[in-house]
Structure 1
Amino acid sequence: MATPADWIAGARPRTLPAAVAPVLAGTGVAAYDGAWDDWQGVWWKALLALVVSLALQVAVNYANDYSDGIRGTDDDRVGPMRLVGSGAASPGAVKRAAFLAFAVAGAAGLVLAATTAWWLVAVGAVAVLAAWFYTGGSTPYGYLGLGEVMVFVFFGLVAVVGTTYVQTESWLWPALYAGIGIGALACAILVVNNLRDIPTDTVAGKRTLAVRLGEQRTRALYLLLVLAAAAAVVAVAVATSWCVLVGLAFLVVALPGVRTVLGGATGPALIPVLQQTGLAELVWAALVAAALIVCG
């Protein structure tokens, strides 16, 4: 039977910065637009957006654990422990944990939709379906090389723009630019994860984007995504205030991971890059949000 520590490890807490970052960035844009002038009316919306984002991230992690585990993809895993693949928990238990996390995200999302706009329910439903069918179902799109696209859309654009929208009830260009930056770094996390797993994914028939591109081009893609995140900081600064350029300091955190990836590291040597990239994304969001709040 899986221990509480096993379940926490299965939730992959090192990926959670990717859930916090879009809410930080989106809230920063909302504050710059004046939404927090009456903070009592929006703080709880930001909190609920954070609950949605965190719960979806945990749900995705458990869902991937379940789906990859029953397919045998994790039988010879290099990365962090998986509950099903290691035999620590039954597939049914992990599936129920995923659905419980989806339910938490759905409940928080319904409150936001009821107090903002009901069409957000449709957005949330699509996000849940995208999370499940990443590795679930008969033809998971994560096995077809489309995982990065969906991560960019849902953990970048939708998460940031959605967070801003529920607080301002308006569409703002800086939110889109911030979504591009956050989405690029969220994709970078998945890219390095799939770079590490190229050998085992190839054997398992999992045709991720890294498998399709090959090792060298995947490493180049990682660098490109980090540079895109830097360009997004500049775009947000142009649309708001030049003090946002302080966000470029995220590169200090990102550079060790870039050096590791471009240096040819493989297997377990790439595991620290996951945490470094997640931290870089969180720093990106925190610095940009702080600049928007201060200079707004």
Structure 2
Amino acid sequence: MATVAQWVEGARPRTMPTAISPVLVGTGAAIGAGVIAPGRALLALVVSVALVVGVNFANDYSDGIRGTDDDRVGPLRLVGSRLATPTAVRNAAFISFSVAGLAGLTLVSLSRQWWLIAVGLLCVAGAWFYTGGKRPYGYAGFGEVAVFAFFGPIGVLGTVLTQSGTPGALAILAAVGVGVLTCAVLVANNLRDIPTDTVVGKRTLGVILGEADTRKLYAAIVALPFVLGVLGALRSWPLLLGLLALPLAIVLIRIVLKGAQGRDLIPVLVRTSLLLLIWSVLTAVGLALGAYL
């Protein structure tokens, strides 16, 4: 039976920057639009964190029952390691999705953006069918597309909508940045897993592109948010704050392009999540200051 510490590890707390970043940037954009709503921001954060925990447990369950985690180089998986039963891990995913749903309904009722209920249901379905169901889209090379959509436009702009209303151009630009940096986290993960995913027939984008092109893709999408930040700064100069994260981005790009493999990519994965968080904090501050400077 898994210990409490193992359940926490199974929830993959190191992925939490992917949950926090969209809310930070969306809230920064809302403040830049003149609205400060800490209660709604907190609810959005609960929704985002609960969804990410839910998708982590759902992936653990689905990959575990398929046997694709039996030979894994990476974070602990509860089912694959035989530390918890598939049913227990599946139930943990459902509980997390329920928490996200309750917080989401509360947020929607406050903002009166009722159509976001459908978006919330889409997010839960996307989380489950990433590796779940008979034809998981994560096994067909569409994981990065879904991650971009859910963590970029949906996560960031949904946060803006529930706080200050219709997002502006800078919020949209920042949402693209969050989306592609979150994709970079997944690309690093899939790059590491290309050998094992190939063996079990898991056709991630990394498997489809091959190792060399996956490394180039990683470099491109890590660099893109900084280009977007410079473009945004033409309209609001505080967005240049995001460039303070550029040194870390350059280090990570160099490591990946030089051919790091297997366990050597685990620190890259962790530091890409950190890059996402740092860039998001700086960009959120830039968006918030834009209306006052």
Q: TM-score, normalised by structure 2?
A: 0.97
- Aligned runs of 1:158-197 on 2, under 5 Å? 158-197=154-193
- Aligned runs of 1:150-161 on 2, under 5 Å? 150-161=146-157
In the alignment, is the contact (CA less than 8 A) between 2:23 and 2:156 conserved in 1? yes
Shift of 1:113: 1.2
- Aligned runs of 1:47-58 on 2, under 5 Å? 47-58=42-53
Matched, 1:59 2:54: yes
- Aligned runs of 1:64-213 on 2, under 5 Å? 64-116=59-111, 117-213=113-209
Shift of 1:170: 1.6
Match of 1:24 in 2: 24
Task: Output the amino acid matched with 2:87.
Answer: G
Question: Aligned partners of 2:195 and 2:288: how far apart in 1?
Answer: 45
Identify which of 237, 247, 266 aligns with 2:233. Answer: 237
Shift of 1:206: 0.3
Match of 1:39 in 2: none
Question: Aligned partners of 2:220 and 2:9: how far apart in 1?
Answer: 30
Q: After superposition, give the CA deviation of every residue in 1:76-122 in whole Å (9 maximum; x if it has no partner).
A: 00111100000011100000000111011111100111122110100
Match of 1:222 in 2: 218
- Going from structure 1 to structure 2, the CA distance change for 1:249 and 1:9 (only over 3 Å counts) comes to same
Shift of 1:171: 2.9
Q: After superposition, give the CA deviation of every residue in 1:23-73 in whole Å (9 maximum; x if it has no partner).
A: 11111111111112xxxxx11000101111111111111100000000000
Question: Aligned partners of 2:123 and 2:288: how far apart in 1?
Answer: 29
Shift of 1:236: 3.1
Question: Aligned partners of 2:110 and 2:234: how far apart in 1?
Answer: 32
Match of 1:44 in 2: 39
Task: Output the amino acid matched with 1:86.
Answer: S
Shift of 1:234: 2.2
In the alignment, is the contact (CA less than 8 A) between 1:62 and 1:97 conserved in 2? yes
Q: Secondary structure at the match of 1:86?
A: coil
Q: Secondary structure at the match of 1:83?
A: coil
Q: Secondary structure at the match of 1:17?
A: helix
Task: Output the amino acid matched with 2:120.
Answer: G
Q: Secondary structure at the match of 1:129?
A: helix
In the alignment, is the contact (CA less than 8 A) between 1:11 and 1:62 conserved in 2? yes
Question: Aligned partners of 1:236 and 1:163: how far apart in 2?
Answer: 20
With 120-129 and 222-231 compared, the bigger mean Cα shift is at: 222-231
Q: After superposition, give the CA deviation of every residue in 1:233-267 in whole Å (9 maximum; x if it has no partner).
A: 1233234x112111111122222221221110110
Q: Secondary structure at the match of 2:80?
A: helix
Q: Secondary structure at the match of 1:149?
A: helix
Shift of 1:205: 0.5
Matched, 1:284 2:240: no
Question: Aligned partners of 2:271 and 2:54: how far apart in 1?
Answer: 22
With 247-256 and 193-202 compared, the bigger mean Cα shift is at: 247-256
Shift of 1:284: 0.8
Q: TM-score, normalised by structure 1?
A: 0.96
With 251-260 and 152-161 compared, the bigger mean Cα shift is at: 251-260
In the alignment, is the contact (CA less than 8 A) between 1:253 and 1:279 conserved in 2? no
Question: Aligned partners of 1:70 and 1:174: how far apart in 2?
Answer: 43
In the alignment, is the contact (CA less than 8 A) between 2:223 and 2:249 conserved in 1? no
Q: How many pairs does the alignment contain?
A: 290
- Going from structure 1 to structure 2, the CA distance change for 1:257 and 1:126 (only over 3 Å counts) comes to same
Percent identity for Structure 1 against Structure 2? 57
Aligned-residue Cα RMSD (Å) equals 1.0
Q: What runs of 5+ residues in structure 1 fail to find an aligned partner?
A: 37-41
In the alignment, is the contact (CA less than 8 A) between 1:256 and 1:276 conserved in 2? no
Question: Aligned partners of 1:236 and 1:52: how far apart in 2?
Answer: 28
Shift of 1:176: 1.1
